[in-house]
Amino acid sequence: MKKTMNKIMMILIIAIGVSSVAFGQTKMSKDSQLETEIIALERQTNEAVNKKDVKMLEAIVPADSLIVTEKGIEDRAGFFKTFVDECTVKSFSMDNTKFVRLDKNTVMIAYKYTQDAICSGQPAPSSLWISSLYSKRGGKWLNTFFSLTPAK
């Protein structure tokens, strides 16, 4: 009886251990999928700026978003004027991306952005640190806050 009880306890302990590891992997998997989705949205936003695709940008960047640049705090219209009207980006890359899920409807990414760009007739900084906050509204992830800092 004692051996049977020990076997049952051992099986129970193993089952609990395995199930907790599996539960943790499921959560990581969901965050990993979301991270991939948000990075893809950020890449689409950058590509839309490069292609001057205002329609695509309007779908990702809501009218009430805030953008912080070296010029100060701008709204979506200011963002479009600065980055779509005044800049031409020949190429860009996103590296060293970090992802943080703040709650079920809010995530943030930060990354190093490297570009070959001209803005207002002048070479733009080649490296920037960028952070973007995405909020889920109506079942869709939208870029509600964007900040850039030239990298040294």
The stretch 91-114 carries a mean pLDDT of 96
Mean pLDDT of the 23-50 span: 82
Using 50, 70 and 90 to split pLDDT, how confident is the model at 3?
Answer: low
What is the average pLDDT value for the chain, to the nearest integer? 85
- Helix (H) / strand (E) element for 7: namely helix 2-51
Give which of 94, 108, 101, 105 is closest to 146, Cα–Cα: 108
Task: Look up tokens 């709204």; give the residue.
Answer: 75
Going from the N-terminus, what domains does the chain have, and what CATH number goes with each?
Answer: 2-150 (3.10.450.50)
| pLDDT tops 60 at residue 12 | no
**What is the pTM for the complete model shown?**
0.77
Place of tokens 């251990």: 17
- Weakest-pLDDT range from 2-6, 28-32, 48-52: 2-6
Residue 145 has pLDDT above 50, yes or no: yes
Cβ atoms of residues 98 and 109 within 8 Å: yes
Comparison of pLDDT for 37 and 3, the residue scoring more = 37
